[in-house]
Amino acid sequence: MNRARIVVLTVAICAGGIAAYLASGSDSAPPPAAPVAQLPTTDVLVAKNDIGLGQTLKPDDVQWQTWPTATASATFIRRNERPDGATQVTGSIARAPFIQGEPIRDQKLVKADGSGFMAAILPTGMRAISTEISPETGAGGFILPNDRVDVLLTRRLKNPDPGGQDIVTSEILLTNVRVLAIDQAPKEKDGQNAVVGKTVTLELDSAQTKVLSSGRQAGTLSLALRSIADVKTTEITLDESAQQRDGVSIIRYGIQSQAAKAR
C-alpha cells in the first residue's frame, strides 16, 4: 500500500514538472521581427500655414519637413542643398497661393525689390491696364480676379439713310485675357463669388494694350466670362465681315491678325 502511494506521488510530481516546463515555454518572448528597411529622406522647405496670393513671406510662414527623397522634386528647396533656404525666401511675394504643407518653389515667388505688388507678379513682357466697367458690362459682377474673359466692343454708327435707325455693331477685341484685379482687389475675399466693381485690371501684352486703348475711344467695352473648361482652347472663328470692320485690329491670344481697313 505504501509502495502504491509512492508511485502515485512520483507520477504526480513528474506531471507537475512537465506542466511547469510547458507553461514556462509558452511565456517565452517571440523571436525579434526582421528590421524594416528605411527609405532615404531629405528635409524640404514647406508652407507652415496657408499663404495667399500677394502675401509677403515671413520667417514663421515656412518650416523644414522630412520628405522621401524619391518624391522630392528638383524644384523643391532642400536643406542639404540650400541650408539658408528659409532666410532666402523671406521677403518674397507669393505669385500664386500655397496651401499648408505645400513645398515652397522659387517659380511661385518673386522678389519685389521695392516695386509694388502688381509690378512684382506680372510675367515678363506683360502689362497691367485698367478700364471702366459696370455690372451690365462686367457679367453682372460674377467676374473674379484670375478669371479669363473676352473683351467685346459695341459701337453705334449713324445710318447714312435719312430717317433710318442707327446701326449697332459688336465685335471681339481680345480673347482669353486674364483678370488681375477688380477695382483694387487682386484676389477673392472671404469666399465671395461675385465682385461688383467699377474698374477691371487686365493682363495684356503691348499689342493688346494698344487695341484696348483704341477700343475705349471707339465705343462701349464689355467683358464675357469664359468657362474654366475652355481657357486653353481654341481658335474663335470670326466671319469675314468681323475681320473687315474698321477701327480696331483683332487680337487672338496676343497675336495680331489682319488689321481692320480704314474707310
Lowest mean pLDDT among 74-83, 96-105, 120-129, 242-251: 242-251
Mean pLDDT of 208-222: 88
pLDDT at 141 over 50: yes
Identify which of 119, 115, 149, 116 has the alpha carbon closest to the alpha carbon of residue 131: 149
Number of other CB atoms surrounding residue 3 within 10 Å: 7
Is the pLDDT score of 239 beyond 50?
Answer: no
* 170-183: average pLDDT: 87
Where helices occur in the chain by DSSP H, the ranges are: 2-26, 85-89, 117-121, 206-218, 240-244
Output the CA torsion sign for 134, 137, 143, 146: negative
The Cα–Cα gap between 113 and 190 comes to: 29
pLDDT confidence tier of residue 42, bands split at 50, 70 and 90: very high
Comparison of pLDDT for 38 and 91, the residue scoring more: 91
Is residue 143 within 8 A of residue 223, CB to CB? The reply is yes
| Mean pLDDT value across residues 120-147 | 77
Q: Has residue 147 got a pLDDT over 90?
A: no
The closest alpha carbon to 61, from 109, 19, 16, belongs to 109
- Specify the pLDDT at position 199: 84
pLDDT at 21: 66
The three three-digit cell numbers of residue 96, written as one number: 500664386
Residue 10: is its pLDDT beyond 90?
no
